[in-house]
Every structure is written in C-alpha cells, then in structure tokens.
Amino acid sequence: MARINLSLNFYTQWYWKIDLYNLMHFLGLRADPHAQYEIRAYAEAMLGTMQRWVPSAYAAFLEYRMNAASISATGLKVIQRMLAGETVEQKDSGLSPREWRELMAVLGR
C-alpha cells in the first residue's frame, strides 16, 4: 500500500451540490467571527460568489442572518421590562454576567 503524505500547504479541489438554504446555513457558521481564520477566508470568497449569483438572497442573508442579533426569551423579557420604564440590573435580570454583557452590547449600552 502506497502512502502519500501532503503538507498542510496543499489545497484540495472538490465539487459538491447544495441548495441555497443549506449554503446559507453553512456560510453563517463558517463566516462567523468565532470561526477559524482559514475557513472564514473560504466563506468570504463563497459569499462573494453568492452575491453575484443571487444578489437578493445575499442581501436578505446579510440583513436577517449575518448582521442580525439573536435574543433569548429571558433577554427579550429584560428588553420588555426596560421598554416599560423599569431599571433592570444584571443581578435581577435572570441572565448570567456573560449573557448580560452580550445583551447590553447588542443594545449598544
């Protein structure tokens, strides 16, 4: 049996089929700022292709997925309390300190 060892600087070429919904899910995960740099670079290139291929879907993807915020049910209750004029602090919000910081960042506070 022959064994070929390739170093990490070799890239692989492949062909695959995917529907637009699953492509957007894939790109949402891979283009996330928390993703590894190399896969983000591929995702950015794929997003460029998506922008040229389906510009309306690309714009909606950016608006509703990539540049959107996801808020938990508890976070939503905190926002509703704030909108009602209540002063809400982290300790009585039901959110962990990390969740509180993330919610305040989303709200720009």
Q: Which residues are catalytic?
A: 30
DSSP 3-44: -----TT----------HHHHHHHHHHHTSTTS-HHHHHHHH
Q: What is the DSSP letter of 8?
A: T
